[in-house]
Amino acid sequence: MSMVKNYVLGEGDASPTPANNNSPVHPLPTSWYSSQDIHELERRAIFSRKWLLTTHKLRFPKTGDWLRYEIAGYAFILVKDRQGNINAFHNICRHRAFPVVTEEGGTSGIFSCQYHGWSYGLNGKLAKAPGYQDLEGFDKSKNGLLPIHVHIDVNGFVWVNLDASEKPEISWEDDFKGIELQPRFEGFNFEDYNFDHTSEMSEEYNWKILADNYNKSLGLYAVDTNDGKSTTEEIANRLKIASTYYFPNAAMTVLPHSFFMQRLVPAGPSTCSIRYEVYRHKNSTDEEFEIINETYKRIMSEDKALCGAAQINLHSRTKEEPVYFQSVIRDLITEHHKREEDAEEEIWPARQGIPKEEAVSKEDMDFCSKLTSNDASALTAGGCCGGGCGGGPPTIAATAPETMVI
């Protein structure tokens, strides 16, 4: 069970209790912002286990609406099925691991893999497998898309958890119970907004630098100073702002005219992308929306410059570090590493189970994993099998070799 607070609010509640009050907290060393091994551990210890804020259900108005997402090398699809549920699946065809979708989003009645024509329903079930479906012993029910846990909170925000266990080790409530009911959201009705646009920036720095920056300066974005609530005058002036950082990698700023979701997507030890989703209040005028939109863009652009410079000057980071955020990172990494040492193998919670009948053996994957851990150069190339063995950073591959039908 998660024992730490997983969100940081804007001014008014910006100092959550450290994970361990008896331990001194120190900034993370600079090597944690550039090491490939730490990046891989973060993929296993954090992004494969924690609940990740992803989007809002407003983006799925119709049956069959789907979007493609990616986080730390794991590509997945969110889709609204015929029952109105929002499902998530790894973007990996069960045949030979080709991506099931290659566009950013769309509306479909079925997912059809472009490689050899396997197709899947909106619920992930395998519908057609040309060349296989009539083979004796081939079980369609065991070859659907690989599911990912989804939680929709009371405000309609969509969260995912990549833990491949039937029940994730960390429940959403462990991480975020009550977050959607925070008093600062009073007066905001998320159903009153419409999705407006997305944008993206590719960055040449470690994702934690921007997270540090956000956690350090969150209060700067918030004008609410009354225990998390805006003053009467501010509300009257429609300046109420609620900013929240959701560990590990998301932030959201809610205003009367718009709300902005921001996801930090690690791509490597010193690269990441920032992906924004912007929603607009349905009653806001163009002018009201654009004033806020432009201000937000300016702040993001300033952050980009600051963080780029921070990566270059990592060696001189000395003070005012957001040690709480960093201590949560440290705890998760070291705890997971200890588990791996005890198990004498890497533990990849997002990796799907390997059925006995599948052709790829654990011995083969362990062999590959040992090669990559002995050869640092292989890691930068994604390991000997593109990361499917757990040895490197795949795009589609974190689960791929274990799930192919040969």
| Nearest of 243, 296, 241, 289 to residue 274 by alpha carbon | 296
Cβ 106 to ligand FES shortest distance, Å: 18
Only one of the segments 22-30, 89-97, 247-255, 372-380 lies at the binding site for ligand FES (rule: CB under 6 A); that segment is: 89-97
Residue 118 engages ligand FES in binding (rule: CB under 6 A): yes
Only one of the segments 46-54, 65-73, 115-123, 247-255 lies at the binding site for ligand FES (rule: CB under 6 A); that segment is: 115-123
Residue 95 engages ligand FES in binding (rule: CB under 6 A): yes
The residue from 52, 75, 113, 261 that contacts ligand FES (CB under 6 A) is: 113
Nearer to ligand FES, 74 or 118 (CB): 118
The residue from 104, 115, 201, 294 that contacts ligand FES (CB under 6 A) is: 115
d(CA 273, CA 278): 16
Which class for 185: exposed (0-12), middle (13-18), buried (19 or more C-beta within 10 A)? middle
d(CA 262, CA 221): 14
Cβ 114 to ligand FES shortest distance, Å: 7
Residue 142 engages ligand FES in binding (rule: CB under 6 A): no
Nearer to ligand FES, 328 or 400 (CB): 400
| Nearest of 105, 119, 13, 92 to residue 61 by alpha carbon | 105
Nearer to ligand FES, 4 or 127 (CB): 127
**Could you give phi then psi for residue 121, rounded to 5 degrees?**
-75, 175
Only one of the segments 6-14, 64-72, 111-119, 325-333 lies at the binding site for ligand FES (rule: CB under 6 A); that segment is: 111-119
Residue 116 engages ligand FES in binding (rule: CB under 6 A): yes
Tokens of 39: 């990046």
d(CA 156, CA 58): 8
Q: What is the DSSP secondary structure assignment for residue 332, as one 8-state letter? A: H
Residues 188-247 within binding reach of ligand FES (CB under 6 A): none
- Hey, what's the torsion of the CAs at 257, 258, 259, 262, to 10 degrees? -140
Number of residues interacting with ligand FES: please give it, by CB under 6 A: 9
Nearer to ligand FES, 56 or 68 (CB): 68
Residue 242 φ/ψ region, left for φ over 0, alpha for ψ in the -120 to 50 degree band, beta for the rest: beta
**Interaction site with ligand FES (CB under 6 A):** 93, 95-96, 98, 113, 115-118
